[in-house]
Structure formats: C-alpha cells, structure tokens
C-alpha cells in the first residue's frame, strides 16, 4: 500500500490476531496494525469520543473485521462504518469463521468489500492470510474525507 | 340423572313406544274387522226378520183375498168369484211352504207355525163348507154360516197372532239395529282414543328422539372440542420438541464453531513452534566439540518433535471431528424440499460416479426396478450414496464383490434394499455402527464413523426406518423403509 494505510484489526481471539498479524507481515506488509479484541474499543477508536469519525479525516484506513465479538457483532460495526460519511470509503475485510450464506449476503449488502472465511485447517488459514497480505500490497485505499 | 342413563332410557323406551303404538293399531284394526262382521251379521238378521214379517203377512193377505172372493160369491153367486177363490187358494200353498221353511230354518217358533196352520185349516174348512152349501142350493144356510161369525173369529185370531209375531220380529230387528249402532259408537270412541294415544306416543317418541339427538350432538361437540384440544396439545408438544431439537442443532453448531477458534490457535502456534525449532536448536548447539551437549541437544530435539507430532495428530483428529459435527448439524437444519423422485435415476447417477472405484475393487453393481416416491432429493442421494460407498468400501477381499440395489412397494411405504457380499458386521455391532463416531470391524479403511449415523438421522427425518441384516464374512443388507408421500407435517410430528 502506497499511502501509510492504517490497518484496524478487530478480532476477539488474541491468538488469531497474532497469527493474522504474523502472516500479513510475512507477506511483506509493514503497515501499522492496531488490534482490538472487542467491539466497544474498536468503535471508540474508529468514531472518536464524539462518534463522528472526524479524527480519521484525510487518513487511509483498512478494517479487518471478525463477526463474532463478545460485546457487539461485527455486522453492527460494519453497518456503522458504512453509514459514516468519513469512514464509508474505507475498505472493510470481513474475516470470520462463519460461512453461512445468509451472513455473507448480509455483509455484502451492508457494503463490506471482501468476505473471507477463516479456513479451519491452519495451513490453509496461514496461506489465506498471506494471500490477503499480498492483496493488501496491491490495493488502493482512499483517504477518509 | 347422568347423561348416559338418560340416553339409554331414551334408547330403551323407543322400541316400547313403537310396540305400544303397533299394538293399539292392531286392536283398532281387529275391532273394526269385528264390527264389520257384526254389522254384516246384523244386516243378515234384519233381512231375515223382514223376510219373516213378509212371510207372515203374505199368509194373512192370501186368506183375506180368499175370504173376499168367498163373500163376493155368496153375495152374487157368479162363478168368476169361485174361480178367483180357487186361484187364491192355489197361491196360498207356496206361501205356507215358505212359512214351513222359515220354521225349519229356526226363524219361527214351531208352536206358532202350528197354530197358524191350525187356524188356516179352520178358516179354509169354514169357507169350503159355505161353497158346498151354496152349490147344494142352500144359499141361506151358507150365508148364515158367514153371519154366524165363526170364520170372522178365526180370521181375527189369525190376525192377532200374526200381528204379535210381526211385532216380535220388529222388536228383534230394532234390538239388532240398536246393538250395531252401539258397537259402532264404541268402536268410534275406541278409534278416536287409540288415535289420540298413538299420536301421543308418536309425539313422545319424536321428543325422546330429538332429545337423544340433541344429546348426541352435544356429545359430538364435546368430542370435537376435546379433539381440538388434543390437537392443540400435540401441536404444542411437537413445537416444543422441534424447538428442543433445533436448540440441540444450534448448540452443536455453536459448540463446534467455538471449538474451531482455539483449535486454529493450537494448530497455528504449533506450526509457529515448528518454524522456530531449528533456530532454537542451532542456538543451543553453539559450543562446538561438546559431544555430550550435542547428544543432549539431539535428544531434546527428538522429544520436541515427538511432542509436536502428537499435538499435530491430535489437533488434526479434533479438527475432523468438529467438522463432522458441524456438517451433521448443518444437515439437520436443512429444510427438506419434497419432490417426485425417480430412484432409478438417482441410483444410476451414484453408480456412475463410483464406477471407477467399483472396477478397481472388482465389484459388480446391479440395480433392480426401484419405486418412485415423493421425498427430499438431496437426502436420498446422500442416504443411497453413503450405503453404496460403504458396500464398496467394506468388500471381502478374495472374492468378487456383488452389490445389489433393489426396491419394492409395501402399502404407503417404499422399501429399498442395498445388499452386498462384503465382510459383514458382527451381530454385537449392529447397533454400534449407527452411532456417531463409532465404527465396527477391522479399522483398515479411512472414515470418521459418521456415514451411517447421518444416514439413519436422514431416514428418520424423512419418516422412515433403517434396519440392518448382516453376518460376518457373508455380507450386509441395509433396508430403508420410506413413506412414498413425504410431507412436512410428518416431519413435524416426527421431530
């Protein structure tokens, strides 16, 4: 990614978060990654204390989102990001265990950009994350306005 | 009074009422018949009485006529009067004959007839004597005889006698007529009364019938209400069961889902550990020439690899099991879509897809004539392909495999049999093979022990049964019995 894109990772399982980070790094992505293990903290960071999201104006964000969170659902976070004027152009990658067709459809309806099911098998999992990292290297992320 | 007792009373009194009505009708009818007979008898008696009267009067009439001819002759002496007299006498004979007949038939008393005859003889003798005197020229003597009044007295006696007899007949006639009228009155009264009673009985009968009908309707309503209640109860229970079943499915899904996350971590970090293994051990073996240390390092490395190996195989197995549970729970939640299925077509497709394995295993698959049914296509495909796969998988080595798929129709059920001449299943394991994660016989084939559990769950959901008939070394026959017309209601009640 050309711009200093900030990767916001919302993942309640710290082990998963670590594995994801390692494998993204292995793909050669050196961008800053801000991890969150619950929805409340993630929302606070994304939308700021006033909930407007103005803090991230002129900053490129990429959100890596798990759907199963202890306090809220990833779907709710997705909805709020895509409804916010400042954040709605930031790419959101849903990375979750669910492969339910209804859930996938709902996420895309809400404006998610990529939906990836975490492979159960670790080798496949590592491989998928590495490919995602390679994907991150080539995509263009617009700055939030 | 309880309802049943009242009802039984109403039911019991029905035939009694009917019997009573019928008996009354019979009584009225026989009374009428009796009266008709009686009336006809009376009419006969009346006619007879009139006949008697006529017979008696005819005697008097004939004698009077004879007497008037006699008087006429004595007055003028013309022979025409004698002729008339003789003619009248000859007419008297049948009248007397009739009288005798009447007496012989018992309609007139013998003494009366005898007296009449006696008087007639007297009268005839008197008249005959006058004619004889006149013919002998003793005109005055003849007239004197008449004037003597003997003949008149005889006639007077005769008239009195016949008048009395006629009166008797008349009063007899009146009595008969009175009797008839009396009985007609009684019968009329009886008929009217009987009719009223029959109508009352009919009314009572109708009332009882209506009441019992009303009670029956009420009972039917109650029954219907009870049935409706029962249906509601069943529906509630079924809904509860379904909910419980769905909860189990959801639970299985969530559990398997949640187990996956830590498993990914275990597997991931095991891989990470393996990745750093060489780095760690190369760091440990920094002092060259230290043979003991190198030896120790090698041993540590072996222990490390062994531990990693166990972790790896355990996680792989756990991963397989979790996936299996996940797949089963997903299958359990799938909505069935019943459609008309041609089983021969489905089995044909499956046999086609396993033909490579079959030829490799040197097995022959024969498919008989299979019934068509309305059911869920995917379920039947899974059931049959699992069974056919199993048959191919567990063939007895050393003999040519023979797999046969046959079907028949038994009432509302379709029966499908998948039989093989494979290695068979020991009787002790006939139940076990259907349990989740359980397998039987030599564990020399890959598998999780899911196939048959899945097949049985599907067959049950489709409202059918699955049974096994097998002997070791001889082969196995799986028999599936499925309703030919599956519907969602059935599944609900089975759920």
Instruction: Encode chain B (495 residues) as per-residue pLDDT tens digits.
Output: 455 555 556 567 777 878 888 888 888 888 888 878 887 888 888 888 888 888 888 888 888 888 888 888 888 888 888 888 888 888 888 888 888 888 888 778 888 888 888 888 888 888 888 888 888 888 888 888 888 887 888 888 888 888 888 888 888 888 878 887 887 888 788 788 888 888 888 888 889 889 989 999 999 999 999 998 998 988 888 888 888 877 887 787 777 777 877 888 888 888 888 888 888 877 776 666 677 777 888 888 888 889 999 998 888 888 888 888 878 877 777 788 888 999 999 999 999 999 888 888 888 999 999 998 999 999 999 999 999 999 998 888 888 889 999 999 988 899 999 999 988 898 888 888 888 878 887 788 888 788 898 898 889 888 889 999 998 888 999 999 999 888 765 444 444
Helix or strand or coil: residue A92?
Answer: strand
* Cβ of residue B140 closer than 8 Å to a chain A Cβ: no
Whole-number pLDDT of residue B3? 53
* Cβ of residue B260 closer than 8 Å to a chain A Cβ: yes
Rg (alpha carbons) of chain A, rounded to whole number:
14
Cβ–Cβ below 8 Å for A125 and B268: yes
- Whether the Cβ atoms of residue A6 and residue A60 lie closer than 8 Å to each other: yes
Residue A92 has pLDDT above 90, yes or no: yes
Whole-number pLDDT of residue B495? 41
Nearest to B343 by CA among B365, B366, B374, B364: B374
* Cβ of residue A120 closer than 8 Å to a chain B Cβ: yes
Question: Which residues make Cβ contacts (< 8 Å) with residue B132, sequence separation at least 6?
Answer: none
Distance, in Å, from the CA atom of B115 to the CA atom of B113, rounded to the nearest integer, reads: 5
- Count of CB atoms within 10 A of residue B173's CB? 19
Distance, in Å, from the CA atom of B292 to the CA atom of B314, rounded to the nearest integer, reads: 33
Cβ–Cβ below 8 Å for B271 and A126: yes
- Whether the Cβ atoms of residue A82 and residue A92 lie closer than 8 Å to each other: yes
Which chain A positions have a beta carbon within 8 Å of B261's beta carbon? 13, 16, 97
Instruction: Kindly list the distances between the CA atom of residue A98 and the CA atoms of A24, A68, A74, A101, A116, in Å, as whole numbers in the listed order.
Output: 21, 9, 12, 9, 9
Distance, in Å, from the CA atom of B474 to the CA atom of B171, rounded to the nearest integer, reads: 118
* ipTM field: 0.74
Instruction: Kindly list the distances between the CA atom of residue B87 and the CA atoms of A134, B92, B117, B193, in Å, as whole numbers in the listed order.
Output: 168, 9, 19, 62
Instruction: Kindly list the distances between the CA atom of residue B111 and the CA atoms of B100, B116, B165, in Å, as whole numbers in the listed order.
Output: 12, 9, 12
Helix or strand or coil: residue A34?
Answer: strand
pLDDT tier, A104 (very low <50, low <70, confident <90, very high otherwise): very high
Cβ–Cβ below 8 Å for B268 and A15: yes
User: How high does pLDDT run on average in chain A?
Assistant: 87
Residue A93 has pLDDT above 90, yes or no: yes
Shortest distance, CA A15 to any CA of chain B (angstroms):
6
Q: At what angle do helices B150-284 and B139-148 cross, to 10 degrees?
A: 50
Distance, in Å, from the CA atom of B462 to the CA atom of B483, rounded to the nearest integer, reads: 8
Whole-number pLDDT of residue B267? 86
Distance, in Å, from the CA atom of B201 to the CA atom of B25, rounded to the nearest integer, reads: 12
pLDDT tier, A2 (very low <50, low <70, confident <90, very high otherwise): very low
Q: Are strands B363-367 and B338-342 parallel, antiparallel or unpaired?
A: unpaired
- Whether the Cβ atoms of residue B425 and residue B441 lie closer than 8 Å to each other: yes
Distance, in Å, from the CA atom of B395 to the CA atom of B402, rounded to the nearest integer, reads: 9
- Whether the Cβ atoms of residue B404 and residue B368 lie closer than 8 Å to each other: yes
* Cβ of residue B263 closer than 8 Å to a chain A Cβ: yes
Which chain B positions have a beta carbon within 8 Å of A13's beta carbon? 261-262, 265
List, in sequence order, every beta strand (DSSP E) within B254-358: 338-342
Q: What are phi and psi of B389, to 5 degrees?
A: -60, -45
DSSP B229-276: HHHHHHHHHHHHHHHHHHHHHHHHHHHHHHHHHHHHHHHHHHHHHHHH
CA angle (B424 as vertex; B421, B427 as ends), nearest 5: 140
Shortest distance, CA B264 to any CA of chain A (angstroms):
6
Whole-number pLDDT of residue A1? 46
Q: Which tens digit of pLDDT belongs to each residue from A7-47?
A: 999 998 888 899 899 989 988 888 899 999 998 999 999 99
- Whether the Cβ atoms of residue B358 and residue B365 lie closer than 8 Å to each other: yes
Cβ–Cβ below 8 Å for A120 and B263: yes
Which chain B positions have a beta carbon within 8 Å of A120's beta carbon? 260, 263-264, 319, 322-323
B49-77: b (≥16 Cβ within 10 Å) or e: beebbebbebbbbbbebbbebbbbbbeee
Q: Which of A13, A122, A125 to mutate to test the interface with B (most CBs of B within 10 A)?
A: A122
Q: Is the dihedral of CA A114, A117, A123, A126 positive or negative?
A: positive
Which chain B positions have a beta carbon within 8 Å of A126's beta carbon? 268, 271
């Amino acid at each position: 990614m050309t711009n200093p894109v900030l990767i916001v990772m919302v993942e309640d399982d710290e082990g998963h978060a670590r594995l994801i980070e390692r494998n993204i790094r292995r793909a050669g992505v050196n961008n800053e990654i801000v991890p969150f293990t619950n929805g409340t903290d993630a929302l606070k960071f994304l939308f700021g204390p006033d909930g407007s999201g103005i803090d991230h104006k002129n900053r490129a964000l990429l959100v890596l989102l798990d759907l199963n969170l202890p306090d809220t659902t990833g779907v709710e976070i997705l909805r709020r990001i895509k409804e916010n004027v400042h954040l709605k152009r930031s790419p959101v990658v849903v990375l979750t265990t669910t492969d339910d067709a209804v859930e996938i459809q709902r996420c895309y309806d809400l404006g998610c950009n990529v939906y990836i099911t975490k492979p159960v098998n670790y080798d496949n999992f590592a491989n998928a994350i590495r490919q995602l990292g390679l994907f991150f290297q080539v995509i263009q992320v617009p700055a939030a306005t | 009074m309880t309802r049943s007792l009242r009802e039984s009373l109403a039911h019991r009194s029905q035939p009694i009422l009917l019997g009573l009505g019928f008996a009354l009708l019979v009584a009225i009818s026989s009374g009428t018949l009796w009266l008709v007979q009686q009336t006809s008898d009376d009419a006969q008696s009346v006619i007879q009485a009139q006949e008697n009267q006529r017979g008696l009067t005819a005697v008097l009439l004939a004698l009077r006529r004879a007497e008037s001819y006699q008087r006429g002759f004595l007055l003028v002496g013309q022979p025409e009067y004698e002729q008339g007299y003789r003619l009248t006498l000859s007419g008297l004979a049948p009248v007397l004959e009739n009288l005798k007949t009447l007496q012989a038939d018992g309609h007139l008393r013998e003494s009366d007839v005898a007296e009449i005859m006696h008087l007639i003889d007297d009268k005839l003798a008197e008249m005959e004597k006058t004619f004889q005197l006149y013919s002998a020229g003793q005109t005055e003597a003849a007239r004197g005889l008449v004037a003597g009044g003997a003949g008149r007295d005889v006639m007077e006696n005769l008239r009195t006698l016949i008048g009395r007899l006629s009166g008797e007949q008349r009063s007899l006639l009146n009595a008969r007529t009175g009797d008839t009228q009396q009985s007609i009155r009684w019968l009329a009264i009886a008929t009217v009364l009987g009719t009223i009673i029959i109508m009352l009985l009919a009314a009572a009968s109708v009332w009882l019938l209506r009441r019992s009908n009303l009670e029956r309707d009420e009972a039917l309503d109650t029954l219907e209400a009870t049935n409706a209640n029962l249906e509601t109860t069943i529906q509630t229970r079924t809904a509860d069961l379904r909910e419980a079943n769905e909860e189990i499915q959801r639970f299985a899904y969530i559990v398997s889902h949640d187990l996956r996350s830590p498993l990914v971590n275990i597997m991931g970090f095991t891989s990470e550990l393996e990745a750093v293994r060489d780095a760690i051990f190369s760091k440990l073996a920094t002092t060259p020439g230290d043979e003991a240390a190198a030896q120790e390092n090698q041993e540590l490395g072996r222990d490390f690899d062994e531990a990693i190996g166990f972790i790896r195989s355990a996680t792989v197995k756990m991963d397989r099991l979790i996936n299996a549970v996940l797949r089963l729970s997903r299958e359990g939640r799938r909505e069935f879509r019943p459609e008309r299925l041609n089983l021969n077509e489905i089995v044909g497709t499956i046999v086609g897809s396993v033909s490579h394995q079959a030829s490799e295993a040197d097995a022959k698959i024969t498919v008989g004539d299979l019934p068509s049914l309305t059911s869920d296509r995917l379920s039947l495909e899974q059931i049959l392909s699992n069974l056919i796969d199993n048959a191919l998988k567990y063939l007895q080595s050393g003999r040519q495999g023979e797999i046969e798929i046959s079907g028949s129709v038994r009432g509302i059920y379709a029966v499908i049999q998948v039989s093989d001449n494979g290695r068979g299943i020991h009787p002790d394991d006939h139940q076990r093979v259907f349990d989740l994660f359980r397998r039987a016989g030599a564990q020399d084939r890959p598998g999780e022990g899911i196939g048959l559990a899945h097949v049985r769950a599907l067959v049950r959901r489709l409202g059918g049964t699955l049974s096994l008939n097998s002997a070791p070394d001889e082969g196995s026959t799986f028999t599936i019995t499925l309703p030919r017309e599956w519907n969602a209601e059935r599944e609900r009640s089975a759920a």
